[in-house]
Chain A
Amino acid sequence: MSPIDYIKDFRDSKRIKALAKLIQNEVDRPINIMEVCGGHTHTIMKYGLKQLLPDEIDFIHGPGCPVCIMPKERIDHAITLAQDENNILATLGDMIRVPGSKSSLQKERAKGKNIKVVYAPFDALKLAKDNPTKNIIYFAIGFETTTPMTAALIDKVLKENIKNIYFHINHVLVPPPIKAIMDSKEAIIDAFIGPSHVSVIAGAKIYQEIVDLYKTPVVVAGFEPLDILESILWIIRQFKENRREVEIQYSRAVTWEGNIKAQQLINKYMQPRENFRWRGIGDIPYSALKLKDDYAEIDAEKVFLDILPNEAIDDHKLCICGDILKGTAKPYDCKVFGTACTPQNPLGSCMVSSEGACAAYYKYGKVKLVKEV
């Protein structure tokens, strides 16, 4: 047997067409599916999957993008910490583009502030060793996926007794916002596609409560077009067979229990935060993590408490990112989509990250609109 090519085989056009046909044949009712993760939104738009699917299937884009959900006051924390010339602020990817209340990390970097984009949390160690007289502040972001790497970095920093790294923890969890969205009853969601990378760490078990509470199927899916199409077929079949279950489509790497070792490492250093304000959604209790009190000496929120701003800041009044993240609006419903708000000049966070729904629509989704011009 030849090895599986994880890029070509999961994008194979014959298989994609065949699965789309099966979906067409089997669907017998309208189904609103929330793809929780921005990575899935991106795949749906990038591969034009909606064009292959029957009208009965509609996607509702979920809150699962760590950049999109970051409230302005947390960005303001990062910007404040970067003002001190003794500090180097390090963070991942396009977090630097997200607008805070007055500026962004990218704009502050252009003003000469010491802000580094790192490719992995462990890059902060090199920064610490190369800059022994500076404080490295790691602005940690991401869902269950990136949390173990932060925990591993904390572990290393403590074991090696490195004294010049501090952590500003913004790690968030997937199930609480799903529950918040379902409890608000504003969006009509029949089923969920769960992000596979989250469940590689946290297991598929995290969704059982969702199925029990709301009687909505959850399929834990990979990010290739075939993964998503297969998951949709599974959801259709659950409804046809009157089942409501958590199923693991991405069995290549996801188990029910997940990565226990990673979970233990996270639990050693972090615990749920009493409250976290999600951009556009609002306060969701126990929806994010913080460092345990035992590690106060490396907790940037405690060490730099005196200088950090503490007020909640709302989004731009024309921006409907909150409604998009809650599943009650689509990017095209926004008056400023593609005009005042573009990836080059984002007003709202969904336009910032490449995984945000607005950015994905802007980048890939304008085919119909353009044709009408």
Chain B
Amino acid sequence: MENRILLSHGGGGEETQKLIKNLFFKYFSNPILEKMEDAAVLNTNSKIAFTTDSFTISPIFFKGGDIGKLSIAGTVNDIAMMGAKPRFLSCSFIIEEGFPFEDLEKIVKSMSEEMKKTEVKIVTGDTKVVPKGSVDKIFINTTGIGEIIYDGISASNLEEGDIILVSGSIGDHGACIMAQREDIEMESEISSDCASLWPLVKDLINSGVKIKAMRDPTRGGLSAVLNEWANQSKIGIEIEEEKIPIKDEVQGLCELLGLEAYTLANEGKLVLVVPKGEEEKALDIMLKSPLGKDSQIIGKVISDYKGKVILKSSYGTRRIMEPPAGELLPRIC
């Protein structure tokens, strides 16, 4: 049992200290964390963005990432979407008794590698181990603080004429997870797009492009983001269906299961709103970044259909892009 997580690893005693020092410090080390005070003391000189998220996913290791990478990228992205440079993270593990130590190390290593991409640091953390069956393998909570570099980004900012861009193919993460779940057992090459978006956001900010709204379309996908914006800004949004980038394999899976790619989760894409006239410059910056090489202008803000998202087909018909609702269930026939 030595290579498995035991209840005693979360007990606060010697085993906990060993776990912290031998595993977490090995990968997360930085002067603030290593002080091991009750709370981290931080220096920030500007307005901050503050966010938290909990990560549970099955399977915990998937093509393109794992729960660790996701727990860093997810929180870093939430900070970055507010125009803030990610600085500090907290990290809490809730681990099921008996979880393989080797898997925990893989997760922690992956978190450390993801943090290097944005120079964000874990400065405080917590570990709980719960009896077998109380959680599904491992849950991770990360809370993040970032310094606002570009102020004023908001879901309420959209106005008629604004242009909407997306940084690449949508639905990759959701499709990857769905294809890899045990009960589908589908042979698939679809890989999650899990990535920290701060480098792309930094490029956009540094280029001087005016950013009105920005979101990473995670759960609920592109559809959830656009519908939320339409509601918050009390405007209509018109999207050109054929401009939405979707990978063939993702579309294929959606066809098979009767799902829409724009309701599937992404973990390394952003949707951006810029004022009219700024879109080409923004697209140019995005296309130059490895994180945005398949970027597209997908639509615009309109005065009709307030609170709704309209999907325009290439043959001239229009329909509503509904916000996603309920459990994603596969079609029957």
Contact = CB atoms under 8 A, between A and B. Distances in A.
Contact of B325 (A49, A343, A355): A343
Contacts of B330: 92-93, 117, 119
Interface stretch (A155-163, A210-218, A360-368): A360-368
B183 A118 contact: yes
B42 interface: no
Interface stretch (B140-148, B155-163, B306-314): B306-314
Given A118-B183, A363-B320, A363-B322, A16 B315 contact: yes
Contact of A49 (B305, B317, B331): B317
Contacts of B1: none
A119 B186 CA distance: 11
Contacts of B258: 354-355
Nearest to B314: A13
B319 A39 contact: no
A363 B324 CA distance: 10
B332 A48 contact: no
A344 B319 contact: no
Interface string A66-93: 1100000000000000000000000011
Nearest to B242: A13
B333 A52 contact: no
Interface string A47-59: 1110110000000
Interface residues of A, number: 46
Contact of B320 (A52, A94, A141, A367): A367
B313 A146 contact: no
B316 interface: yes
Given A7-B255, A118-B183, A355 B332 contact: yes
Contact of A197 (B242, B304, B333): B333
Contacts of A46: 319
B176 to A, nearest CB: 16
A307 interface: no
A49 B318 CA distance: 10
B184 A119 contact: yes
A97 B331 CA distance: 12
A36 interface: no
B325 to A, nearest CB: 5
A45 interface: yes
Contacts of B331: 93-94, 354-355
B302 to A, nearest CB: 11
A364 B332 contact: no
Given A118-B183, A370-B308, A145 B317 contact: no
A97 B330 CA distance: 12
A245 interface: no
A96 B327 CA distance: 11
A252 interface: no
Contact of A13 (B313, B320, B333): B313
A371 B310 CA distance: 11
Contacts of B332: 66-67, 92-95, 141-142, 146, 353, 355
A93 B304 CA distance: 36
Contacts of A366: 320
B313 to A, nearest CB: 6
A143 interface: yes
Contacts of A107: none
Contacts of B41: none
Interface string A331-373: 0000000000001100000000111000000111111001101
B333 A47 contact: no
B252 interface: yes
Nearest to B248: A7
Nearest to B255: A7
A359 to B, nearest CB: 10
A7 B251 contact: yes
Nearest to A52: B317
A143 B304 contact: no
A89 to B, nearest CB: 15
A355 B308 CA distance: 23
A223 to B, nearest CB: 10
A364 B319 contact: yes
A367 B318 contact: yes
A51 B333 contact: no
A96 B329 contact: yes
Interface of B: 183-184, 242, 248, 251-252, 255, 258, 304-306, 308, 310, 313-320, 322, 325-327, 329-333
21 contacts: A7-B251, A13-B315, A46-B319, A47-B313, A47-B319, A48-B319, A52-B315, A66-B332, A94-B331, A117-B183, A119-B184, A142-B332, A354-B329, A355-B258, A362-B322, A363-B320, A364-B320, A364-B322, A366-B320, A370-B308, A371-B304
Interface of A: 7, 13, 16-17, 20, 39, 45-49, 51-52, 66-67, 92-97, 106, 117-119, 123, 141-143, 145-146, 197, 343-344, 353-355, 362-367, 370-371, 373
Given A17-B316, A48-B317, A354-B329, 13 more contacts: A7-B248, A47-B317, A48-B319, A52-B315, A97-B327, A141-B332, A146-B333, A197-B333, A343-B326, A344-B326, A367-B310, A367-B319, A371-B305
